Structure 1
């Protein structure tokens, strides 16, 4: 159920993004020919008011199609309701609407968290450290650690609770490069002993795992709508800033941070783990992934909304449309890049499917 919940959330975020483009166009009277979730062959479709609504075979995104892109369209090329014949501000709104829709959804989810779950009132820590993520091919994965495990002791010494337990464990790992540590862990109520050998990274031990305090976050009822909106807005700003900073760091220090990039399989694994935890976790997961989709699509890369916006900006500076051959080459290069990146990330993440299989009870 956790995996299905995560997949449903991802599908919903894609639908919201594409709905942003769709409604921005139809609201302005711009012709739309299709609304698709996924790419490739059509699995399910329905025609309504001249628009094809389709579910496609490759679940790596979605798109809104316009008659402008159909060479066989019976609509005259000078039709004023074609997207390409509309003023630049109207076209810019259509392009930006997907990103805006994901950002608005993230804020709305945080508001819903405040209204349904409440306002965070502190963290109730219990002994141990939670493994929230494991990188494939690293020491943690080789030892048998998986996302959701709780580390309760190292070399016979019990770990305390809270952030201090994380600090102590990280210090122990960093100070033991190429040394074997014995971890006491708990998974599904069962205690296990694992042998872990941190890799030596310039004299510092590394294991390739994300660690966080183990426990539960306490919530209290909001004092009123103002507190809900204020807290949601503050959290939204913090999450957005951290997401943007993460993409900037990836671009400026790619060699050091590329291994932290997660593809579809890893994102589903994270969502499945959080779905099992319940509470506020899924609200935060949904908001964070929605913000990530918004920032990712805003990047000035071919096929992404940011790349389309760059073409529109260049057209505005030139005072006339860019040559069709240039636009076609730009889009084709983007397709190869994005499909290639998606395949690499999926292959990278399949090595971590064991954690997903555990969540499924296999």
Structure 2
């Protein structure tokens, strides 16, 4: 049930992204031929004002169709309301609207959670282990999800994000060197030895960490705190997401193992949904920001690629030839499908139930 909720949230976020493209086009009077929720055969179809709205069999996202892409369209090629015939700024707004919709949604859900549920109570000292990768240094040392790390080498960890940053800094600086960890599990406290793996001279332990928050919430004190809390949560999520993708570009070998595929994303959502509605809110905000940043990258099939093509067109005075664009798009499609399959196989093999079946 938790996995289903996470899957539905993921699908909804993709629909919101496509709805951003749709609204940006229709509000500018640009022709749109279709808006679909889901993929595959249409279960329900309705046509209104020249747009075909459809609910399809597989509710995993959605898409917007433009007559520009329909070779059988009877609309004249020089129609001023076709997307490709509009000024570049208008085209750019349509392309960017999906990213903007995801960012706006993340802000809205974080604001709503703070307003109606509250904000997290002050964190306790130490760091909370959220997730442990099988076979990583953290798993080998005996750390488990839910453990609290109180100190490293007898040095207490501060409360909040400062404690997390201090632990990350100490781990990175100690590849293949033992660190004495004071761990609290339930009511019991013990000491264990943690030896970070060496990844190109940087220590890695294979664990997701966060501030040691009890999960208790308190009401916001005033509108100012509501705005500041929402902005702080949003900016922190956005910064962490951008840093993650930047790490892939600058140090792919060290960070590639942290890339999550669809299975891992749904598993993470299922774990967060166990915390109730607040967990799903956090998941939806985090994934919505991830979708926005990912789609901003200048890679074939992504919105960032289309923005780059428009930028080149504005400089050259004419668009890049369709033959060249198609070659890149086809290559990008094959790469994306291959990467997705690899991530699905890898993440599925790391699921606890699969590990048990394999006797690990």
Question: TM-score of the superposition, structure 1-length normalised?
Answer: 0.79
RMSD value, Cα: 4.0
Paired position in structure 2 for 1:11: 11
Q: Larger deviation: 305-314 or 338-347?
A: 338-347
Deviation at 1:226, TM superposition (A): 3.2
Deviation at 1:116?
A: 1.1
Aligned residues: 345
| Structure 2 contact 26–32 (Cα < 8 Å) conserved | yes
Superposed displacement of residue 215, structure 1 = 5.0
Task: Confirm or deny: 8 A CA contact 1:243 1:291 kept in the other structure.
Answer: yes
Residue 216 to residue 236, structure 1, CA distance change in 2 (3 Å): same
What are the residue-to-residue correspondences of 1:33-44 with 2, within 5 Å? 33-39=33-39, 41-42=40-41, 44=43
Matches within 5 A, 1:125-144: 130-138=128-136
CA offset digits 1:300-352 (Å, max 9, x no partner): 01110000111111111121222221222222122112222211211121112
Q: Does residue 320 of the first structure (1) align with residue 312 of the second (2)?
A: no
Q: Equivalents in 2 of 1:134, 1:303: separation in Å?
A: 33
Runs (5+) with no aligned partner, structure 1: 154-158
TM-score, normalization by structure 2: 0.79
- 1:294 is displaced (CA, Å) by 0.3
Greater mean deviation of Cα atoms: 11-20 or 134-143:
134-143
Paired residues of 2:121 and 2:214 also in contact (CA < 8 A): no
With over 3 angstroms needed to count, the CA separation of the structure-2 counterparts of 1:168 and 1:112, relative to structure 1, is closer
Q: Deviations over 1:217-254 (max 9, x none)?
A: 44332233333123212322222122112211221011
Aligned position for 1:329: 327
Aligned positions of 1:20-99 closer than 5 A: 20-39=20-39, 41-42=40-41, 44-49=43-48, 50-55=51-56, 57=58, 59=60, 61-99=61-99
8 Å Cα contact 2:137-2:197 kept in structure 1: no
Choose the corresponding residue for 1:201, options 195, 198, 203.
198
Q: Distance in 1 between matches of 2:216 and 2:59?
A: 40
Q: What is the distance in 2 between the residues matched to 1:356 and 1:109?
A: 34
Q: Residues 2 and 273 of structure 2 are in contact (CA less than 8 Å); yes or no, is this contact kept in structure 1?
A: yes
CA distance in 1, matches of 2:210, 2:298: 34
Residues 75 and 136 (structure 1), Cα distance of their counterparts in 2 relative to 1, 3 Å cut? farther
Task: Kindly provide the CA deviation profile for residues 6-40 of structure 1, in whole angstroms up to 9, marking residues without a partner as x.
Answer: 1121111111100000111111111112223455x
CA distance in 2, matches of 1:170, 1:88: 45
Q: Secondary structure at the match of 1:123?
A: coil
User: What displacement does 1:168 show?
Assistant: 9.0
